[in-house]
Amino acid sequence: MKALVTGAAGFVGSSITARLLAEGWEVRGVDAMTDYYDVALKEENLARLGGAFSLERASLLDLDLGAVLDGVDVVFHEAGQPGVRSSWGTEFGVYLDANVAATQALLEAARRAPGLQRLVYASSSSVYGDAERFPTSELDRPAPISPYGVTKLAAEHLCSLYASQFGTPTVSLRYFTVFGPRQRPDMAFTRFLTAAATGREITVFGTGEQVRDFTFVDDVVEANLRAATADLKPGTVLNVAGGTHVSVNEVLEEIAGLAGGPLDVRRVARCDGDVTRTGGDATRAAELLGWSPRVGIAEGLARQWEWVRGRL
């Protein structure tokens, strides 16, 4: 089997790529290597990859995607511009290009790719915004409260549109806060754990009472591989949720236990677009993929803690 992984140098993209290579897939990667965070970290992710892997260092918008998809059986579309805080204001155009225009270009090529069996799109729980109920199911109304969430939902709608109009075999996975080793440096757990390990101050946006559904990266990878081969209707949308439902303050308590002492926490104003709570209902993923999360918050944090300490 041959896969295309977009965003192959990133946190989730490189984790999917490593798993595919370990299982004998041939993988073609694409990554624009943008500087949203230190490119050296992406190079480290790539250095872990061996086997039948090749990489195009370019934006999807600058490639002949028909040629890129030649011979590809499955696409894992992980590329995109992350981050809620940066999506406001003048940076919004970056999000439109990376999250919406690039996805549309990929879908145009995918609908003409004769051997393509599946395109798995990395959507986000950000599409729900402040959801009306919890746990939130795929049938609940999406209402993003950040420009980032708007672009993720727009790209997801494009996937569903190309599925209904052209039969493009898309499936969208709505990730709920992915964590684990190699998590991006701007994400909360990496920031918290690094600060705890070095005795530095931890910055928390808001009161810390925000509740999140955290999902370990290995579980997300497993969901992707199952979505690649399961018998699914084109345009299917599924929650990929870890079922943890813990507050940021509870996470800090867990980290204090790992660090063996109190943390130096500074609280600042809540960020615009930061939702109060997330919590996904993953019943459909269990039914259609046979998937359920295996790694809980305590085990996952301990693994990420060891990874952070190993880098210092």
Give the separation between CA 40 and CA 35, rounded to whole angstroms. Answer: 9
β-bridge partners, 171: 120, 236
Q: Which of 95, 148, 162, 175 is catalytic?
A: 148
58-93 burial, b if ≥16 CB within 10 A, otherwise e? ebbeebebeebbeebbbbbbbbbbbbbebbeeebbe
148 catalytic residue (yes or no): yes
Distance between CA 215 and CA 50 in Å, rounded?
26
Number of Cβ within 10 Å of residue 179's Cβ equals 26
Give every CB contact of residue 14 below 8 A, 6+ residues apart in sequence. Answer: 8, 42, 45, 46, 48, 49, 182
Give the whole-angstrom CA distance, residue 109 versus residue 290.
Answer: 30
Three-state secondary-structure class, residue 88: coil
Widest pairwise Cα distance in the chain: 58
Q: Give catalytic residue positions.
A: 148
